[in-house]
Chain A
Amino acid sequence: MFEVLFYLLIFPGFLFLYLCSWLFEFLDRKLLARFQRRIGPPWYQPLADLIKLFSKEDLMPQGANEVVAIALPIVSLCAVLTAGIYVPVAGFSPESFEGDLIIVLFLLSIPTLAYYLAGVTSVGIYSLLGGARSLLQFFSYEVPLLIALSGPAVLAGSWSIQEIIARQSETGAFLLFQPLGFLLAMIGLIGKLKRDPLDIPKAKSEVVAGSLTEFTGVKLGFWHLVMNIQAVVGIFLIINLYIGWTSAGNPLLNISIFLIQWLAMILLLSTASAVFARLRIDQLAGLGWKILVPLSLLQLTVVILMGV
Chain B
Amino acid sequence: METILEISEHIDPSTVYSELSHPESGGICVFVGAVRGVTKKEKVTSLFFEAYKSMALKEMQKIADEAKEKWNLNKLVMKHAVGKKNIEEPVVIVGASSAHRDDCFKACRFLIDTLKENVPIWKKEFFENDEVWVSSHP
Physical interaction between A and B: no
Residues of chain A at the chain B interface (Cβ within 8 Å): none
Residues of chain B at the chain A interface (Cβ within 8 Å): none
